[in-house]
Amino acid sequence: MRKKFLSYFMAALILVLSFLVPIPSSLHVIALSENTVVINEISWMGTTINYNNEWIELYNNSTASINLNGWTLKAKDGTPSITLSGTIPANGYFLLERTSDATVTEAAANQIYTGALGNEGEYLELRDSSNNLIDSVDTWYSGNNTTKATMERIDPLQSGLLSSNWNTATMTYSGGLGTPKAFNSIPVPPSNMEQLNTVSDALGAINIYFNKSAVTSYASSTSNKANYHVNLENRLIKRINAATTSIDVATYEINLPNLIAALMNKASKGVKVRLIADAKNPGDADYSDRYTEMRLYLEKMIRGYDGVVGTSDDIIILADSPIFAVEDTALRTSYGLPATVTGFTYKTLKVGTSNISGYLIAEGEKKTDGSYYAAADQMHNKFMIIDNSWVWTGSWNFTITCTYGSEENMRKGILGGNSQHSIEINWPTLASIYKTEFDEMWGSSTLTPNTAVSNFHGRKIDNTTHSININGKTVEIYFSPGDNAMERVVELVNNEAHHKAYFTIFAWSHQALTDALKYKWEGSYLDMEGTKTGFDVRGVFEGEYWNQWWSASVDMTGRTASQTSTNNPNIRWNNPAPVYKDAEDRKLHSKTMIIDVNTSSDPTVIAGSTNWSNNGENVNDENMLIIHDANIANQFLQEFVARYQAAGGTMQ
């Protein structure tokens, strides 16, 4: 849930007042103060299309939606003079476009206004319906008329009258440089500056993005430097904003407000959006708060911009098990939903062995008897298919914690989330393979899911091509369960790895893969036997699992496990490998192995959402890419060196 001290104070104040002063149930009341809503971005110079295409963006700093009816945004010289109407969502945006909604093509206007902004500067005041001053800007502190770069606020909680609190936009949109209805392109310290070095939109492009650091001195050439310190959300939003026909989303979790807004915007413009979500057990304490928040966002997407279920701007959602609405009135209101659930049917369904009642917002896969599978296994994918051409995948979950680490970091543009990678590939054949997997879970190839035909988890079959050629690069694709992805990885290590294997991994319990590397490392599959062969093994493990008895980290370092099992017999390495517990600021969420990088022996990368475990192979819905390409392997090496050196390893 959203947590800011100011928000807690305001919520407590409202609670006290509610006992003292009767509040009509039809009104949503919030204690307003200066900077509750701010003037966040101003396109005072217009756009590259037309200098009259001016726009203004407001931002809501609070955790509750706010009714703007009767508010005003006026210039002291009288033009423009805007009386606002509508609602600005919690921690969300309100876009004012001059003259028409065509001013900004990738974001829908919340209100159209008239009246030009002077290029020499304006004094703008934002006042609430009681004429209280909420925010003001007294001149143009930034922005560029030549490049049509907007003036962006840096800290929405700080005054708009400070020159140091404004920045000239650096991110591209259809009208120049700016971020309409998206997080501002706030500059960050040079050591953390986003580095986009090898990005292409061409057919056959394979773009690799890392959200943390990389050591580009290991680049094989100046033209092959890795993309690092990348805001993965912004990159994906850029791809979504370019969609024209369809977007298919398979997501383990999603709660990024701007990403959700981008999907809703596309649905409102006629792009067909289908979304598969992972249903969680509502009683699971580890996921309770996150799942509550996700269900609120899922309902927002289902309702669409008009807030009405069953209209053309809705996003269609299916899950591996039924998902029910959150009925908490205060939470619903804070997310801009109707206080009471409307538009959905209250049902009692047999889910697993229990009956569950509630307002059904998303159907789940049905058993042959018409009941539903329980929310036990994970739909762990994190991929999108855009316009049946682009595929976005990797280890990155579409969440605040995975991307920024916290809401405060998100507001400041700090990438304090888990260490991740994302891959986007522009290749229709690959997109069709992912669509086959998506449709198998969806149960149809249409906008309407078929819950009687849909298959998740162990009920899926191996029905996709596993190797394609993308402009001379061999790319292998495996989905779990059913495709024997880990069996292929073991085969790859046994038969095609000749010099080295480097890895960064979240969870690794797959004993056959551990044993395959042991044989490469010291020529023996036996416990505490073997002599080093010269094959190079290096790696970094997520610290949470470093000491778990089932983790490959225990075997590789020659330690005795606290227990064993048939699947994990603790076959210790006689010569401990140089593998380390990670030293990341949050989780090491990668699932990556680099084989024979910087050699002539088919450099290869294994990446995707699949953890190297029984769940990753046989239980959860996952996807894995194996990319055979020297340049891509080298980009992954640059990121690996950063993770490895931070953990204490040294590269020879």
> Each residue of 280-325: pLDDT tens digit?
987 777 788 899 999 999 999 999 989 999 999 999 999 999 999 9
Q: Is CATH 3.30.870.10 the right assignment for the domain spanning 464-647?
A: yes
* pLDDT score at 12: 40
CATH superfamily of 33-187: Lamin Tail domain (2.60.40.1260)
CA atoms within 13 A on the CB side of 322: 25
- What's the pLDDT tens digit per position in 84-121? 999 998 888 999 999 899 889 888 999 999 999 999 99
* Statement: residue 7 has pLDDT above 80: no
Q: Is CATH 3.40.50.10280 the right assignment for the domain spanning 206-458?
A: no
Query: Domain residues of the chain, as ranges?
Result: 33-187, 206-458, 464-647
The one-letter code for the residue type at 489 is: V
* pLDDT score at 8: 37
- What's the pLDDT tens digit per position in 396-409? 999 999 999 998 88
- Look at residue 183 and give its three-state secondary structure: coil
User: What is the C-alpha to C-alpha distance for residues 76 and 497, in angstroms, rounded to an integer?
Assistant: 70
Whole-angstrom distance between the N-terminal and C-terminal Cα of the chain?
Answer: 45
Rg (CA), the chain: 26
Tokens of 34: 């200066």
Q: What mean pLDDT do residues 406-433 have? A: 93
Q: Do 33-187 and 464-647 share a fold?
A: no
Average pLDDT, the chain: 92
CB under 8 Å, gap of 24 or more: what pairs does 441-447 form? 441/250, 441/276, 441/318, 441/320, 441/365, 441/379, 441/621, 442/274, 442/276, 442/318, 443/318, 443/365, 447/272, 447/274, 447/316
- What's the pLDDT tens digit per position in 182-224? 888 765 555 678 899 999 999 999 999 999 999 999 999 999 9
Q: What mean pLDDT do residues 47-55 have? A: 94
Q: pTM of the entire structure? A: 0.78
Indicate the Cα dihedral angle 433, 436, 441, 446, nearest 10°: 130
